[in-house]
């Protein structure tokens, strides 16, 4: 699985989460809400160090990652994170 994050989305995370080089952002399966790929689950984010990452990408000194235990949520999809210009917040695209 691939994880890509646009520069604009990285800037948003840096500002909103008060991140600094060396920090981590985890994308994980969260019970509740909705998503395009899993009914009853949504994508959550947290600022914690990885334990057993399945995929990582680093931008501006921040490591963005998904844990092995959360791969089921993505069901073989890649995750692309970009900034939604209309709402001024990250949006998620899932591609097979």
- The burial of 71, by beta-carbon neighbours within 10 Å (0-12 exposed, 13-18 middle, 19 or more buried), is given as middle
Domains of the chain: 3-95 (2.60.300)
Three-state secondary structure string covering 65-85: EEEHHHHHHHCCCEEEEEEEC
Nearest to 79 by CA among 44, 32, 39, 40: 44
Given a cut of 90, whether residue 34 has pLDDT beyond it is: no
- Residue 24 pLDDT: 97
pLDDT in tens, 41-50: 889 999 999 9
Distance CA 71, CA 60 (A): 25
């Amino acid at each position: 699985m691939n994880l890509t994050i646009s520069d604009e989305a990285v800037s948003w995370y840096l500002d909103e989460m008060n991140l600094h080089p060396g920090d981590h952002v985890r994308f994980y399966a969260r019970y509740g809400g909705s998503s395009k790929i899993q009914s009853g689950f949504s994508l959550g984010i947290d600022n914690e160090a990885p334990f057993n990452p399945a995929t990582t990408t680093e931008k501006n000194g921040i490591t963005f990652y998904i844990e092995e235990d959360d791969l089921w949520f993505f069901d073989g999809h890649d995750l692309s994170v970009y900034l939604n210009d209309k709402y001024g917040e990250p949006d998620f695209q899932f591609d097979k």
